[in-house]
Structure 1
């Protein structure tokens, strides 16, 4: 999962994808109170030890309904309306609510500490997992679900989606959804494109799999390892009703992300914010 700087021509693709139209409405309700625009650059590679081994998933193997024949599942564009932009904020959750999200995991080096901090404050969050990580860390997926967190789909191998064919997008999203469903008993209902790079096919295929696209309003840029103080400041300055905060629990050294959460989470709660998660009805 090594990701390089996105060149100017790719940013043009992303802007064109985002210009396709406005989002339609989604019905979102708040959880129990006790409950990537493209990145300017890529993330650091894994340490010298390398990433966990990838478990190969069968192409196009995921489906939401049982097949009635031996034919492979067909992914057709969902019936209208299909979103043309991802959701970026969730004001429907209330004037005191915001959403904390963590991408790229689960990683046994950092995810357990993030889960422990969330548990300490009785807070729920969203985890957008990569299939190649989830396949190797099913125990952490189950811990997320047991604590009431929302597990979303962040593709299998974190590619730049607009560079993929529709079939490859189906494989990336479908294989990850299959891992989540096999581990937790239900498929994810939310997904996030790597780098926040969406295109028409990703919206159509995600909708056909029953998932809503989720972006963010506050980018902590923790993947650049700017220092714990800087991450805390960015989250504090961006906090607002309905805001969606982007952080990471994998994809590199995330010790700063872990330390920052321990500081900004109690501060947000002290300011009157209620970190929570959306549910689909």
Structure 2
């Protein structure tokens, strides 16, 4: 399974990275927005330097489906450029804000060399729930699944070691995200082509 964090980098990203190291040098995937990456350049570089994946989460976090074609494509293109400038390589993973996607969004991602990634376990950490509930929601994940969390939240930060421990007790270890030729169901009516796999 894979740990993923959206909406960074933030002023807490460094603490998230430390929590992952302290939990056993666990690696994760951070889906960054272009505006935040522009303002937290050291954060994006450090994510990569510590061995994590960086994905594209749009530039300004809009609902891409509601935008005209040119504006929607620019959201993806501009963030890929930011990540490439800061880290030396363009992202190969993309997560649409709010999980809102359609055929055009998937084509735009593919045009930029990215696989669309949704999730299979939503912690709902953004809603103000306590750390214990975030942990419980994360641990509903199945092998090969993808857990959605968010950067910048103290409750999520506190949940990281507990999630890693809970996964270990089930014999699961956080992995990287790769393309899946077999469709994966995010929720009824929406599938995507990504899964977790062991780090190489």
Please say whether Structure 1 and Structure 2 have the same fold, judged by a TM-score greater than 0.5: yes
TM-score (norm 1): 0.62
Show structure 1 runs of 5+ residues with no match. Answer: 1-97
Q: Match of 2:21? A: 119
DSSP-derived class of the 1:223 partner: helix
Name the CA distance, whole Å, in 1 between partners of 2:141 and 2:122. Answer: 11
Q: Which residue of 1 aligns with 2:37?
A: 134
Residue aligned with 2:156, SS: helix
Which residue pairs with 1:183 in the alignment?
86
Aligned equivalents of 2:174, 2:96: Cα separation in 1: 23
Q: Which has the larger radius of gyration?
A: 1
User: Which is bigger in relative contact order (C-alpha 8 A, separation at least 6)?
Assistant: 1
The runs of 4+ residues in structure 1 deviating greater than 6 Å are none
Q: Determine the C-alpha separation between the residues in 2 that align with 1:279 and 1:240.
A: 16
- Shift in Å, 1:267: 2.4
SS state of the match for residue 274, structure 1?
coil
TM-score (norm 2): 0.86
> Are 1:99 and 2:2 an aligned pair?
yes
The unaligned stretches of length 5 or more in structure 2 are 180-200
1:228 equivalent to 2:131? Answer: yes
* Partner SS state of residue 39, structure 2: coil
Match of 2:149 among 233, 247, 269: 247
- Secondary structure of 2:30's counterpart equals strand
Structure with greater proportional strand content? 2
